[in-house]
Amino acid sequence: MNKVKKIILAPCSFKGSLSALEVCQHLQKGIKRALPTSQLEIISIPIADGGEGLVECLLATKSGKLIKPKVKDPLGREIASFYGLTEDNTAIIEMAAASGLPLLKKSERDPLKASTFGTGELILHALEAGCRKFVIGLGGSATVDCGHGMAKALGVKYFDKGGKEIEEMGGGCLGKIAQIDISSLDKRINESKFTAACDVTNPLCGEKGASYVFGPQKGANKEQVELLDKNLKHFGELLEKVFNKELVNKQGSGAAGGLGAGLFAFLNGEFKKGIDIVKESSNFDEKVKGADLIITGEGGLDSQTLGGKALSGLLESAKKLNVPIIAIAGKLEDEEIFYEAGFKSLFSIVNKVMTEEEAMRDAGVLVEKTAERIVRLYF
């Protein structure tokens, strides 16, 4: 009698084509074409770090529902957004769902004006729903406002040197602020616990800070990058005085355009790697015990993939539990780094000459065929 094969499916999303949950579904289809169902135990655990897909992944492991409030996008326009609400009343929020770069056309990108106000509105909505425990993903932001807008949505007021309240939002206004008034900050925040899911360790300012490293991809030119960095330093130092804690040089403060610093300050938040949150929520290590194989992957694998991100966390568990791990991707670079790190093998889903657009369009079928090839080879 053939031994039942236990296979763990733990992919990230293939951005722009498949969510992590959809990748799991296509992997299953391919595997079942290669092995009879009676010989299989397949456990699907969709994976995310702090960015796109965090809500979906955590709701896949915890009972809950999707809440869809209307909030402001980075430029102040009303949009339909979402967050996850688990049965234990934990709110799972992707800041990108309200303040993310994908919400803007390329021509609209402007970190001098883009604000995290909508993220604050998501938090406010969850507070109204009775949530006092929050997980906030800090990936994919369009903003460089240090959480200014988020805090404004939660009641914080800002004043200039003349004592006039500043209504303007975005990273461009931070340098005008002389006083931060937190007296009207929502009192329910003091009753709540905020955990930021993030893999970014950048400080708030300087060459490795939020503006210099991430500002250009959000639409900032050289002069704007310098102005934003100066504004972040000014605002960050004000926050340090108000909250009496180190922020400007703290690791992670530069995440999501400085929203990391805003969470540290206004919400007294703590940071945790997104993959660690997902692994704990899914009881990942316990499910992996005794497995024959882990299949993971994402849209592209390169030298940055293992820099403390999702796949490095999965590899850590695979090594600890002595389970072989392989990865699939649409694009493979720097393969030797993955082999040296401990991956058993890598597979590209691209099986013939095709454009990137074609690969993204047909990603589901390509994932299925790759899964079938893998299982026929290994088992």
Which CATH number characterizes residue 103's domain?
3.90.1510.10
Cα distances (angstroms) measured from residue 363 to each of 13, 24, 349: 11, 12, 8
Q: What is the pLDDT of residues 347-374, one digit of tens each?
A: 999 988 888 888 889 999 999 999 999 9
CA angle in degrees (0–180, nearest 5) for 140-170-90: 50
142 and 249 housed in the same domain:
yes
The SS3 assignment for 282 reads: helix
Provide the domain limits for residue 138. 54-272
- Residue 33: half-sphere exposure toward Cβ, Cα within 13 Å: 14
Q: What is the pLDDT of residues 277-295, one digit of tens each?
A: 999 999 999 999 999 999 9
The SS3 assignment for 367 reads: helix
240 and 94 housed in the same domain:
yes
200 and 259 housed in the same domain:
yes
**Where is average pLDDT lowest: 74-83, 235-244, 283-292, 354-363?**
354-363
Which CATH number characterizes residue 337's domain?
3.40.50.10350
pLDDT band of residue 114 (cuts 50, 70, 90) is: very high
Residues 334-348 as b/e (b if ≥16 CB within 10 A, e otherwise) read: eeeebeeeebeeebb
pLDDT band of residue 298 (cuts 50, 70, 90) is: very high
Residue 141 tokens, joined: 């932001």
Q: What is the pLDDT of residues 129-187, one digit of tens each?
A: 999 999 999 989 999 999 999 999 999 999 999 999 999 999 999 999 999 999 999 99
Q: Is residue 280 part of a domain?
A: no
pLDDT for position 2: 65
Whether residue 52 is predicted with pLDDT greater than 90 in this model: the reply is no
pLDDT band of residue 1 (cuts 50, 70, 90) is: very low
Proportion of the chain above pLDDT 70, given as a percent: 99
Return d(Cα 321, Cα 341) in angstroms, integer: 15
234 and 310 housed in the same domain:
no
Domain end marker among 272, 297, 332: 272
H or E element that contains 7: strand 5-9
Residue 46 tokens, joined: 């969709």
Whether residue 330 is predicted with pLDDT greater than 50 in this model: the reply is yes
250 and 160 housed in the same domain:
yes
| Total domains present in the chain | 2
Domain end marker among 238, 272, 306: 272
309 and 338 housed in the same domain:
yes
225 and 336 housed in the same domain:
no
